[in-house]
Structure 1
Amino acid sequence: MASVDDVRFFCLSLPGVSERRSWNQPAWFARTLMARMWEDGVLTVKTGEREALAAMNPETYYWTPHHNRSPQLILARLAHVDRDELQELLLESYRLAGSLPPTG
């Protein structure tokens, strides 16, 4: 199970990432928002695979109607995410926030 401390540690280990508050919760920014915590242990990240993640594991990944206008944003319940998966999520979000060139 991943924690807020794991999110903070990995985000701040990436070049150019800073932490500040967003909606009164911890958030991490590269060029743009890359991750933000919610009160209930839910993390917002950017992904290019939102539909696939939510379809494969809806207990972990989902989005709300508020996020429909932002098709790269997905919510992840940290209680269901291990540290390796968290690192992959955050690295992709960092890349999509404009700090790394696309892979492949």
Structure 2
Amino acid sequence: MATEEDVRRMALALPGVVERSSWGRPAWFAATLMARIWDDGVLTVKSEEREALAGTDPDTYFWTAHHERSPRLVLVRLDRIGTEELGELLMESHRIAGGKAPG
């Protein structure tokens, strides 16, 4: 089970990422927004695999009508994923958001 603190630690470990508030919630930015706490225990990230993620595990990955216009945004229930999967999601989101490559 991943937590908001895991998100914070992993996101801030990526090159160039900063944390600031977005709509009153913690958010992490590379060149653009890469992740944000949407609701308690729910994280928004960018993924090129949104449809596949939600199609294979809709109890974990989903989106709302609000996210329909942003086809790369997916919501993730943190209590349903482990930290390894969270790390992979954050790295992909970092790349999509224009983050600097590690190293």
- Name the aligned partner's letter for residue 93 of structure 2: S
2: CA distance, partners of 1:98 / 1:7: 18
Point out where structure 1 has 5 or more consecutive residues left out of the alignment: none
**Aligned match of 2:56:** 56
| TM superposition score normalised by structure 2 | 0.95
2: CA distance, partners of 1:71 / 1:100: 22
Spell out structure 1 runs of 4+ moving beyond 3 A. Answer: none
Q: What do you get for the CA RMSD once the two structures are aligned?
A: 1.0
1: CA distance, partners of 2:33 / 2:96: 10
**Aligned match of 2:10:** 10
1:12-44, Cα deviation, whole Å (9 max, x unpaired):
001110000011010000000000002321000
Count of aligned residue pairs for this structure pair: 101
Point out where structure 2 has 5 or more consecutive residues left out of the alignment: none
| TM superposition score normalised by structure 1 | 0.94
- Name the aligned partner's letter for residue 22 of structure 1: S
**Aligned match of 1:92:** 92
**Aligned match of 1:72:** 72
* Sequence identity (%): 61
- Deviation (angstroms), 1:97: 0.3
Higher relative contact order (CA 8 A, sep 6+): 2
- Deviation (angstroms), 1:100: 4.6
- Name the aligned partner's letter for residue 26 of structure 2: P
Q: Which has the higher helix share?
A: 1
